[in-house]
Amino acid sequence: MATIVKNELKNGISYRIQVKIKDENTGKFLVKAMTWKKPTDVKETEAKRLVQKVAFDFEEKIYNQNAGIQVKENNAIFIDYARDRLERQKSTISLHTYVKETCMINEFEKFFCRIKMQDMSPSLIQDFLDMKQRIGKLDIKAISKKKFKILLHEIKLLPSQLQKMAKVSKPLYLNSQRGNKIEVESAKAMCNALNVRYCDYFTTVKVHTPYAKSTVNAYRKALCAIFATAKRQRLIEHNYASRDYIKAIKGPQKEIQILDENQARVFADAIEKEDNIERKIALMTFLYMGIRRSELAGLQWKDINFETGTMHIQRSLHFEPRFGKFYKSTKTESSNREITMPDRLLEEYKKYKQWWNENRTYTTKPEYEDAIIKSDSGEAYEPSLFIIWLRKVLKKAGLPAVTLHSIRHTNISLQLMAGVDIKTVAARAGHSMASTTSDIYSHFMRSSDIKASNIIDNIFE
């Protein structure tokens, strides 16, 4: 362990850091020392934390030098290195991943500023993760205080025309008019398109959202990947974001919301009564197949085999404000799967295909021509539209306002409670390992375990 001695001098405070090490050649003990001066703008409590980091790095450097391990001298700024690394990987990763990691790097810059790669330390990274878990996400959102309906009627403008002028999606426009929170930029874009003042139609609010354990861990994994690359390039000695240096991230997991068996039946009945055939086939697919919303948005007719009664999940469709809609491969390799469709759903798809052939228009964009669910303009719908469809049917049926992912959870949990084996459930869900399914749905597997026990009990009565 390094020894730290504080010295109060006339021109400030400095710390002498000493490391005692045994010379491998002579067997004698040597003392290596350095001095670190506290910056004048750094508080005493902060200086204590920083000097511990400096001492840790100095000790590691001395031990490695003694062992003959050398690291390249570098003055690389951490945030510059992270951005450069991402740009070099851009051609090999999906657009969705690129946007996600860009947002994370922007968050890193706010905290780490212009710190050098070689000055990054476990304590600094731990502080960032602790801060994220403590503070969570703070967003600035816009909420409608006056609807556009009267204005649109006066100027004889359709909502679809406004959406095109402001370059916003239909789901976003509908959310804004229902009083839901939307991005300030989108609200301003609509106001500018109508030549009205933002403050007359919207109010700005701060939205604080606590981060779940998995979200904070995603930041750690992103840092870990950056440092792993730097370590391979011999720019640093250790990956300080690895589990060897960072304490386990604790905190609440996102609570899994599902519809119970009775509620699922009510939901299924409500779907059967749905007049809108597109809405009916979409929600029926979510309930019967348990697929993700991006997977449904990416579904094409060539993925449906009417002879074998199977659905091939092999792509997903995403939307990013800066890049628009785009297709990408499924979430993981195991997410690319071919699963059998229930007979009732298959029959609905046969009816829908006939309707689709008679009513669908074609688009100038060939990638959307075969899309199963698409708009009157011929383009595939954005995945966010499905939640609006879901909420309408749930409200009409008097059911809780759960999410689309809750319907996926409902599908998986009902299979487990019915006694379907874990490997089959995991394969249909597109989980890479059965352990993922068992970890998430252990509560529902308990119900299957009790059911199995009762069956055995009945056998030997």
The listed range with the strongest mean pLDDT (35-49, 229-243, 302-316, 323-337) is: 302-316
- In this structure, of 71-85, 308-322, 442-456, the range with the lowest mean pLDDT score is 442-456
Per-residue pLDDT at 450: 56
The two three-digit tokens of residue 201, written as one number: 């139609």
Which has more confidence, 449 or 246?
A: 246
By the 10 Å C-beta count (0-12 exposed, 13-18 middle, 19+ buried), 339 is classed as: middle
Contact yes or no for 315/298 (Cβ under 8 A)? yes
CATH of 137-209, one of 3.20.10.10, 3.30.300.30, 1.10.260.40, 3.30.420.40: 1.10.260.40
Does 137-209 match 78-136+211-232 at the fold level?
no
At 183, the amino acid letter reads E
Measured between alpha carbons, how far is residue 158 from residues 70, 152, 261, 317 in Å? Answer: 67, 7, 42, 27
Rounded CA-CA distance 91/96 in Å is 12
Q: What is the pTM of this model?
A: 0.64
**Is residue 69 over pLDDT 60?**
no
CATH of 261-447, one of 1.10.3210.10, 2.70.50.60, 1.10.443.10, 2.30.130.10: 1.10.443.10
- In this structure, of 58-67, 200-209, 382-391, the range with the lowest mean pLDDT score is 58-67
Per-residue pLDDT at 190: 95
Which has more confidence, 162 or 38?
A: 162
The full DSSP string for 276-311 is -HHHHHHHHHHHHH---HHHHHT-BGGGEETTTTEE
* Confidence band of 299 (pLDDT split at 50, 70, 90): very high
**Residues 409, 413, 415, 420, CA torsion sign:** positive
End-to-end CA distance of the chain: 68
DSSP code of residue 317: E
Mean pLDDT calculated for residue range 11-36: 82
DSSP code of residue 249: P
DSSP code of residue 38: P
Torsion of CA 127, 128, 130, 134, to 10 degrees: 130
**Checking phi first, is residue 7 left (phi over 0); if not, alpha (psi -120 to 50) or beta?**
beta
pLDDT digits (tens, 9 = 90+) for 254-278: 667 888 889 999 999 999 999 999 9
Per-residue pLDDT at 243: 85
- 386-393 long-range contacts (CB < 8 A, ≥24 apart) are 386/282, 386/283, 386/286, 386/293, 386/296, 386/297, 387/171, 387/293, 388/171, 388/174, 388/175, 389/276, 389/279, 389/282, 389/283, 390/283, 390/286, 392/279, 393/267, 393/270, 393/271, 393/274, 393/279, 393/283
Contact yes or no for 148/162 (Cβ under 8 A)? yes
In the sheet that 3-9 helps form, which strands lie side by side, from edge to edge?
3-9, 12-22, 29-37
pLDDT digits (tens, 9 = 90+) for 131-189: 888 887 778 899 999 999 999 999 999 998 999 899 888 888 998 999 999 999 999 99
Per-residue pLDDT at 168: 87
The two three-digit tokens of residue 250, written as one number: 């604790």
Rounded CA-CA distance 193/201 in Å is 13
Domain ranges of the chain: 3-66, 78-136+211-232, 137-209, 261-447
Mean pLDDT calculated for residue range 83-99: 88
**Residues 330, 331, 332, 338, CA torsion sign:** negative
Contact yes or no for 267/286 (Cβ under 8 A)? no
Radius of gyration of the chain (CA): 29
Rounded CA-CA distance 146/151 in Å is 10
**What are residue 47's DSSP bridge partners?**
none
Cβ contacts of 153 within 8 Å, gap of 6 or more: none
pLDDT above 90: percentage of residues in the chain: 40
CATH topology of domain 78-136+211-232: DNA polymerase; domain 1 (1.10.150)
Spatial CA neighbour of 259 closest among 451, 414, 384, 426:
414
Average pLDDT of the chain is 85
